[in-house]
Amino acid sequence: MSRKFDGPRLIVFGGTGYIGRALVAAAPDCLPIGGTLARSAVGLRDCLRGVAPDAVVVHAAGSVAHAGEPPDPRAYVDSTRLLFEAIASSGASARVLTLGSVAERLPGTGAYACVKREQRAVAQEASDRFGIPWRHLHVHNVIGPDLPATLAPGAIVRRLRQVIATGGHTLPVINGAAERDYLDVRDVAAIVVAVGERFDVLDRRQPLEICSGIGRSIHAMAAALVAASGMPIKIMDSPDSVDQSRVVGDPAPLRAVLGPTAGATFDFGVSIADLWESSARFPLRASS
């Protein structure tokens, strides 16, 4: 007989963000927490009092920084501290799963990587201090419908829309040789939900990579979007390109947890088509 609980077993903290919305769609029975409630210590504490004894809280809160602007540390670091304190004060026996980024383990001190490393350090300290079970994930690059323009594929598709709207014939691409590991945001959400259900088998010391294990170049991404548009646009690799790195994950640990198909069912063509179609809903902005 399956166990029954009065409260939800999956809580999405940051349920109104890009990945958060996908998580809510992937787990309709979850409890989404976003907006002002996610920033209220009292409201968050009261909300967590009704969760199931073995509930998993997925920290998916974040911020969308515009080009040249650093990410807001309050959306990552302060919210992580708030979440652990709220769980501790509520008396809930919830567990926490934080969504980190592969950027954390890459060399360099970019603003986003630094904030995500600090978030992980805060989560680890709070987990130790309050005795709250915690695990961390390293999510690779997401793609899919309604992708923000702050992420490379989203920026490319909006730039392509501008080229077409102004009657242009070439799409400039920066760092076209760089390779990244992409997964559809809907696949990422399904994987995170499944990982949350297997929380206890995760290694606290080693973040689990959410990836496909397949590298695709920025140039190939742009070419796929041009093909989806159906327009005779030529891709022009920028002479200002400086990044030729290859950042591709190892899906073996993920598949050891979820099975051999985890991250392998991603359909790049469908994701590209959905990204292109959804981009028509966004107003075009003049290039700065």
Tens of pLDDT, residue by residue over 39-80, are 778 888 888 888 888 899 999 988 665 555 667 777 889 999
Q: What is the mean pLDDT of the chain?
A: 88
Confidence band for 1, pLDDT divided at 50, 70 and 90: very low
For the chain, the domains span 8-139
Q: What is the identity of the amino acid at 80?
A: T
Looking up tokens 């999956």 gives 10
> Considering the entire predicted model, what is its pTM?
0.91
Tens of pLDDT, residue by residue over 176-223, are 999 999 999 999 999 999 999 999 999 988 999 999 999 999 999 999
Tens of pLDDT, residue by residue over 128-149, are 999 999 999 999 999 999 998 8
Tens of pLDDT, residue by residue over 99-127, are 999 999 888 768 888 999 999 999 999 99
- pLDDT of residue 240 exceeding 90, the answer is no
Question: What is the CATH T-level fold of the domain 8-139, as seen in this structure?
Answer: Rossmann fold (3.40.50)
Determine the pLDDT at residue 109.
65
> Residue 210: CB partners within 8 Å, gap ≥ 6?
137, 138, 139, 140, 183, 188, 191, 192, 195, 249, 254, 263
Mean local confidence (pLDDT), 263-273: 91
Q: Which tokens go with 160? A: 């392509």
